[in-house]
Amino acid sequence: MKHLIQFALSRRFKNKVTILLHVLTITLMSAVFFADKIIVWILPHAQEQTIIYYPESLESTINDYIDENFRFERGYESKAINIIEQESIIIESEFALDPIVQLEIHTILTRLISEQWLNQLNDQAYAEIINNISPEINFVTLSENNLSQDKMNMSMFLITGIYFAMLSFSTMIANEVVYEKTSKVLSMILTSISTTEHFISKMIVAWLTVTIQTTMVVAEIVSIMMLRNLYDEGHGLLKILSRYKLIQTPALTFQSFIEHLDIDARLITILAISLLYMFVGIILVQIIMVCLSSFITSIEESSGLHAPVYIIFLVIYYIALALNSPLKLSQGLGYYFSMTPILSMLFMPMRLMLMRVSMYEILLGLLLNLISLVIFLYIGSKIYNLGILGGFSFRKYHLKSTKNDASSH
């Protein structure tokens, strides 16, 4: 079995497709980390401030107001955004504005007009009005959650990427089983080892592949990040991410961004437990896919099987997004799904990021997953043996049933 594993890994990594995959990964990651430069190259005016023209009557109100995204100039321009003062304030534009832009302009003008009116009052009246129209309101959350929004976004991005990457690797091993059957390689392999050993070798190869591929991709991403750090410490990238509200942390360098994230033992523990749940969950998926593939005798049948599997896991992912709130994950389906084998590889990490989960619940979920893994491995080896040696084929079954129907007529 050792030689079989070495041969499978050698065939997996020493080929043109793998090299092309990593070239593509490096290209995409470089595009992400240098996105601000690419945007400026494609759209030279994309990062410039939006000019808003206002009439002379609002000169004292706006009073050279400066904003990161907008610049106010006196006058009128038919192709630009114009402020028109009539009985009400009208924002005129040639095309419909984005709702977020509308909200930002509305907030700026409301604040400027209110401040101008309040500045005309004496200090006592000003304080009284402020206290009445802007009472002090504090939001208190009873359930404890120490993760910031940026931490949750980064963690969810990582978990989502790993989820879909692992799904693709699980179907890759299933395709390999079909290839070995159709090319008659499997019959030669089974002269030296049993079907159970072949089944276990497929599981080992799958996870060695995932580990090696993940390590290589992480190394490529870290290398590109270090290159960008040498260029400008990530200043341009973080600036554009902050401008488009993709990050909440006010950081201008990668170092300050990481410091603001405040990566602590709690976050590392959450990620470690999440990866463990995903690791066990994908093994279960892989066992199912390999067992089903053992009954397939052609590439056409294989593609017909994998498409529904992808759809099923996409549905699971969207259900997880729909239930991604503390209330829904602490009771009902969200709670039970976080304990259910396979489903828990998405729902438990979401629970861990949104709320504190008791150690009892974490251990219970892991125990259920491990029990399912033992059962799946035992039953899976029997099913795999039946599929490989039992001579059953979807195509043969279809032809046989067709002949039976024909003879009955």
Mean pLDDT across 212-234: 88
198 and 303 together in one domain: yes
272 and 178 together in one domain: yes
Using the predicted structure, report yes or no on whether residue 8 has a pLDDT greater than 80. Answer: no
Mean pLDDT across 80-106: 85
According to the model, what pLDDT value does residue 192 have? 80
167 and 253 together in one domain: yes
According to the model, what pLDDT value does residue 149 have? 63
Read off the pLDDT of residues 11-42 as tens digits, 9 standing for 90 and up.
777 888 888 988 998 999 999 899 888 888 88
187 and 325 together in one domain: yes
Counting DSSP H helices and E strands in the chain, the numbers are 18, 4
Residue 42 lies in a domain: no
297 and 197 together in one domain: yes
Residue 408 lies in a domain: no
In the chain, the percentage of residues whose pLDDT exceeds 70 is 85
Mean pLDDT across 296-305: 71
Using the predicted structure, report yes or no on whether residue 370 has a pLDDT greater than 90. Answer: yes
324 and 289 together in one domain: yes
The DSSP bridge pattern shows strands 81-85 and 89-92 to be antiparallel
Q: What is the CATH number of the domain that holds 108?
A: 3.40.190.10
Which carries the bigger pLDDT value, residue 395 or residue 359? 359
Using the predicted structure, report yes or no on whether residue 398 has a pLDDT greater than 50. Answer: no
**Residues 348, 349, 355, 359, CA torsion sign:** positive
Contact present, 57 and 68 (Cβ < 8 Å): no
Residue 404 lies in a domain: no
First to last CA, the chain: 51
271 and 236 together in one domain: yes
155 and 230 together in one domain: yes
321 and 391 together in one domain: yes
90 and 153 together in one domain: no
3-class DSSP assignment, residue 273:
helix
According to the model, what pLDDT value does residue 375 have? 93
Q: How confident is the model at residue 278 (pLDDT cuts 50, 70, 90)?
A: confident
Range of the domain at 380: 2-6+14-36+148-396
223 and 368 together in one domain: yes
Residue 41 lies in a domain: no
Number of domains in the chain: 2
- At residue 222's C-alpha, the angle toward residues 217 and 228, to 5°, is 130
Residue 44 lies in a domain: no
Residue 314 lies in a domain: yes
Cβ-in-10-Å burial (0-12, 13-18, 19+) of 277 comes to: buried
Whether this model's pTM surpasses 0.75 = no
Read off the pLDDT of residues 121-165 as tens digits, 9 standing for 90 and up.
777 777 777 677 766 777 666 665 555 665 666 667 777 777 777
In the chain, the percentage of residues whose pLDDT exceeds 90 is 9
Mean pLDDT across 361-369: 93
Mean pLDDT across 213-242: 87
195 and 326 together in one domain: yes
What is the C-alpha to C-alpha distance for residues 306 and 175, in angstroms, rounded to an integer? 9
Residue 376 lies in a domain: yes
Using the predicted structure, report yes or no on whether residue 402 has a pLDDT greater than 50. Answer: no
Rg (alpha carbons) of the chain, rounded to whole number = 30
Least confident of 107-111, 144-148, 174-178: 144-148
